[in-house]
């Protein structure tokens, strides 16, 4: 479904060149929930943004379905993006539009007729359980509700892939859980391929089937989530597990009940 071959990317910064991605190779299957984890600055945001062409890699190829993302011209890329949904840490909803209008936006720019849009928006509002909020504005919603609108908006055009750029990082644990439940549901219902980047271990453990660990622009580990967690090899993943367990121990020590 998604194929990333030898992708490298360098940014020119005032402090010199920074190699953000170094020879990345990835294969993601149709219907998979795939995780990319790494500490800040590991290059995960750049990697996911390369997948829908928001960033252009210096070298290498990216293919999603039949589209060779790295070879498309502007117009072709826009059409390809209509089938690649994306959700964001900061939600990035349009404050000037109601929930309904936010979700209708991708359909409008794809040229759907009004009644078709209405039908689709209502269907998708139902899926994310926000039907009663359709006339609210984003500023009137809670974080979890905002992300549900974000997901609905990303799914409106019936994409083949959903990219999640730290989509739960701004949410509390309970809301994170409900959003992940929603993503898992959608994955099952629509057989949608989902790519999740995160720095939250629990997110990966809870919902991904396969994952890679990114460390300073390299993929240092790759495999199915369960076996990687049982047998971590990379410094990054070991650190992640140690830190997360450390928190849990402290919480138990303090008499907390955990989540």
Partner 1 sequence: MSSDLVKLLLTGTEETLYMVLISAIIAFCLGVPIGVLLVISDKGGIFPLLKVNKIVGFIINVIRSMPEMILIIILLPLAKFIVGTTLGANAAIVSISIGSAPFIARIIENSLKEVEFGKIEAAESMGATTFEIIKRVLLPEALPSIVRGITIAIIGIIGFTAIAGAIGAGGLGSLAIRFGYQRFRTDVLIGTVVILIVIVQSIQLLGDFIAKVINKRRFKFE
Phi, psi values for residue 15, rounded to 5°: -95, 20
The answer to whether residue 136 forms part of the interface with partner 1 (CB under 8 A) is yes
End-to-end CA distance of the chain: 35
108 binds partner 1 (CB under 8 A): yes
Q: Is residue 110 a contact point for partner 1 (CB under 8 A)?
A: yes
- 254 is a contact residue toward partner 1 (CB under 8 A): no
Report residue 150 CA to chain centroid gap. Answer: 11
Q: How far is the CB of 236 from partner 1 (least distance, A)?
A: 27
CB of 95 to partner 1, least distance (A): 6
**Does residue 105 belong to the site contacting partner 1 (CB under 8 A)?**
yes
Pick the stretch among 115-123, 133-141, 188-196, 201-209 that binds partner 1 (CB under 8 A).
Answer: 133-141
Q: Does 67 bind partner 1 (CB under 8 A)?
A: no
Region 152-181 residues binding partner 1, contact defined as CB under 8 A:
153-154, 157, 163
- Applying CB under 8 A, which part among 27-35, 106-114, 122-130, 240-248 lies near partner 1? 106-114
**Residue 94 touches partner 1, criterion: CB under 8 A:** yes
Binding-site ranges for partner 1 (CB under 8 A): 52, 54, 78-82, 84-86, 88, 90, 92-97, 105-106, 108-110, 136-137, 139-140, 153-154, 157, 163
């Amino acid at each position: 479904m998604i194929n990333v071959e030898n992708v490298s990317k360098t940014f020119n910064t005032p402090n010199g060149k920074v190699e953000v991605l170094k020879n990345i190779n990835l294969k993601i299957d149709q219907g998979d929930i795939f995780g990319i984890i790494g500490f800040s600055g590991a290059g995960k945001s750049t990697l996911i943004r390369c997948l829908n062409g928001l960033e252009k890699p210096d070298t290498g190829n990216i293919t999603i379905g039949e589209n060779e993302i790295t070879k498309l011209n502007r117009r072709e890329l826009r059409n390809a993006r209509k089938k690649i949904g994306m959700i964001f840490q900061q939600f990035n909803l349009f404050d000037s539009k109601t929930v309904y209008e936010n979700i209708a936006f991708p359909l409008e720019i794809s040229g759907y007729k009004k009644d078709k849009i209405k039908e689709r928006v209502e269907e998708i509002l139902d899926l994310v359980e926000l039907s009663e909020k359709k006339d609210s504005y984003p500023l009137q919603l809670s974080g979890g509700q905002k992300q549900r609108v974000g997901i609905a908006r990303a799914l409106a055009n019936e994409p083949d892939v959903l990219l999640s750029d730290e989509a739960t990082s701004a949410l509390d644990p309970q809301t994170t859980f409900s959003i992940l439940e929603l993503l898992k549901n959608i994955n099952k219902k629509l057989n949608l391929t989902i790519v999740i980047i995160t720095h939250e271990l629990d997110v990966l453990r809870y919902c991904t089937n396969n994952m890679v660990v990114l460390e300073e622009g390299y993929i240092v580990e790759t495999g199915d989530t369960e076996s990687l967690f049982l047998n971590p090899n990379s410094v990054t993943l070991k650190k992640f597990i140690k830190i997360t367990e450390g928190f849990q121990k402290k919480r138990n020590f303090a008499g907390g009940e955990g989540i």
